[in-house]
Amino acid sequence: MNKSLILGYGLALMMASVYVRAEEPTREAYSQPVSGLDANAMNTFYRGRTEFLQSWAVPPEGGNVSGLGPLFNRLACASCHQKNGRGHSPDTADERMLSMLVRLSLPGKGPHGSPMPHPSYGTQLNEEGIPGVPGEGRASIHWQESSVRLADGTNLKLRKPKLEFVDLAYGPLDGALTSPRVGQPVYGLGLLEAVPVSTLQHIAALQKKHGVHGSFNRVWDVVRQQEAPGRFGWKANSPSLPQQMAEAFIGDMGVTTPLFPDVQCAPQEHACRGAIPSKTQPELSGERLNDLDFFATHLAPPPRRNVDDPQVKRGERLFSTSGCAQCHTPQMKTADHPRYPVTLPAQVIAPYSDLLLHDMGAGLADGRPDFKASGSQWRTPPLWGIGLVPVVNGHSQYLHDGRARNLEEAVVWHGGEASRARDRYTKLPVDQRKDLLAFLESL
């Protein structure tokens, strides 16, 4: 265990006050700006927030919010990232995906090493279409349950999704690689973006001593037109916040931006190709994308709670000694933000992530490579704010597809490089497991 990672905990707690407020957590806990924004900055933040909440209209109606589709999943950023938080999966096969989608591809590599798009459906299933354009089909989840016995004899029920596609409008999906994903939290992203690559490289080097092999995804930067380290997304498949958002606009809502100016319709999606275009292109201007970027960049992670609680303190120690902190790095220092050095100056943050890819084993694998990320690799998701998911989002689902129904299930699903840490957890007596979970709930 790296001493600097362990020693960083206390400092992280102290430094967290740089960007947090000490208020009782509410459903708005993920919606607060970082502190220190002046009136002009707040106005930009509010403009970006408006864009984030805005539903898009079917062209040619809608004025400056005309541009939905022709194919899409949801109407607004906030649909999948409700209250800037975490999406969830359906509980039954009857329910549809309201804050979740399914990524698609074929085996092989696409342009610049990206996933190979399916010739009929592209890289994600768009369930919806504007009037006159059939949606691509439906994905439903059937949960398969299994039992896992922990060292003290506790039986834990786990569930794993099985996807089914119905009403496919553009032919079969045979051979497609699929990956269901819930919407990720969008707070704290500016701080994560400001972590220097050298810091992450250093963390990766330290991890190797413990048999953990964090690595960068290498993805295509559409702005710089070159390969770049991936940092955002479940598989770190996007290099920057603006690109991540622009990808979501075109992929999830069918809204064009300067980064992705073309509507995405497959050759056989004739109605899609023939749909009435918006009067203005791109549908989301660069200025408005900048406002959104400012908003997402400056959303603060929520403050920790109950930090002096003895149980939380015990759990924090166990989090470290179990090896969880090797990947869920508790503390790191940012550099000045690359685009907003004034409003996001260098600071110490406590994201509980290394932003690196790790092989998480067959249990969590989706089998769908994404640039350099293999079918079993996932980016270590930041844990800050995870304890407030029930408060903000009204559920307690975790992991990329929402399979974990509580934090303990999420821990036990860890495999691959995290097997040793998980095994240490499952060998703990129940009281200590509760301590560790209490610590996670304090984040």
Partner 1 sequence: MNEHTPDQTLPDEPVSSVSGQFSRRQFLTLVAGGAMAALAPPVLALPGRKTITVLTNHNDDTFSLIEEAFEKAQSQYRVKLMWMMPPDATKFLHRSDSASMDVWWQAAPHNHIADIAKEGLLQPLPAFDDGLPSAIGKVPLVNAEQTYRATQLTAFSFLVNTKAIAAQQLPWPSDWAVLARPEYAGKVALSDPVKVRFGNIVLDVVLQSYGWDSGWALLSEIVGNAVLLPKGLTDEVSSGRLPVALHVDIVPNAEQRLRQPMERVYPAHSGIVNAGYIGILKSSPNAEGARAFVEFILSAEGQQLLPRTDLPRLPVRPAVYASLGKAQFNPFEAQQSGRLTYRPGEEAGQTAIVTALFGALVKDQARLSTLWARVHAAEKKADPAQATKIAQARSLLQAVPIDSAKASSEDIKKAFRPPRGQQATSTPADLPVQNQLQVPEAATESTSSQLNPARQVAESWEQAYAGNQAQAAKLLEEVGA
Say if residues 264 and 122 touch (Cβ distance below 8 Å).
Answer: yes
Chain positions 166 to 205 lying near partner 1, rule: CB under 8 A, are 166-167, 172-174, 176-179
Residue 63 found at the interface with partner 1 (CB under 8 A) = yes
Write down the least CB distance from residue 363 to partner 1, Å.
Answer: 4
Say if residues 442 and 305 touch (Cβ distance below 8 Å).
Answer: yes
Say if residues 101 and 122 touch (Cβ distance below 8 Å).
Answer: no
Give whole-number Cα distances, 334 to 190, 199, 337, 379, in Å: 10, 9, 8, 19
What is the b/e burial string over 84-117, where b = at least 16 CB atoms within 10 angstroms of the residue's CB? bbbbbbbeeeeeebbbbbbbbbbeeeeeeebbbb
Write down the least CB distance from residue 283 to partner 1, Å.
Answer: 14
Give whole-number Cα distances, 419 to 236, 372, 387, in Å: 21, 22, 23
Stretch that binds partner 1, among 78-86, 182-190, 295-303, 313-321 (CB under 8 A): 78-86
Rounded to whole angstroms, how far apart are CA atoms 97 and 74? 10
* 5, 158, 206, 284: which one binds partner 1 (CB under 8 A): 158
**Which residues fall within 8 angstroms of residue 361, CB to CB, at 6 or more apart?**
376, 414, 415, 416, 417, 418, 419
Write down the least CB distance from residue 198 to partner 1, Å.
Answer: 33
Give whole-number Cα distances, 12 to 140, 331, 404, in Å: 41, 6, 27
Stretch that binds partner 1, among 185-193, 198-206, 308-316, 413-421 (CB under 8 A): 413-421
Total residues at the site for partner 1 (CB under 8 A)? 81
Rounded to whole angstroms, how far apart are CA atoms 159 and 348? 37
Write down the least CB distance from residue 17 to partner 1, Å.
Answer: 17
* 202, 415, 432, 434: which one binds partner 1 (CB under 8 A): 415
Rounded to whole angstroms, how far apart are CA atoms 102 and 73? 10
**Which residues fall within 8 angstroms of residue 318, CB to CB, at 6 or more apart?**
428, 432, 435, 436, 439
CA-closest candidate to residue 41, choices 341, 335, 252: 341
Stretch that binds partner 1, among 118-126, 290-298, 304-312, 359-367 (CB under 8 A): 359-367
Q: How many CB atoms lie within 10 A of CB 152?
A: 11
Chain positions 105 to 134 lying near partner 1, rule: CB under 8 A, are 128, 130-132
Residue 277 found at the interface with partner 1 (CB under 8 A) = no
Q: Is the Cβ of residue 149 or residue 208 nearer to partner 1 in the bound state?
A: 149
Q: Is the Cβ of residue 179 or residue 334 nearer to partner 1 in the bound state?
A: 179
* 252, 269, 354, 366: which one binds partner 1 (CB under 8 A): 366
What the block records as the tokens of 96 is 């549809």
Residue 68 found at the interface with partner 1 (CB under 8 A) = yes
The secondary structure of residue 326, as a DSSP letter, is G
Residue 15 found at the interface with partner 1 (CB under 8 A) = no
Residue 143 found at the interface with partner 1 (CB under 8 A) = yes
* 42, 223, 342, 430: which one binds partner 1 (CB under 8 A): 42
Residue 160 found at the interface with partner 1 (CB under 8 A) = yes
Q: Is the Cβ of residue 281 or residue 419 nearer to partner 1 in the bound state?
A: 419
Residue 64 found at the interface with partner 1 (CB under 8 A) = no
Q: Is the Cβ of residue 180 or residue 351 nearer to partner 1 in the bound state?
A: 180
Residue 339 found at the interface with partner 1 (CB under 8 A) = no
Residue 425 found at the interface with partner 1 (CB under 8 A) = no
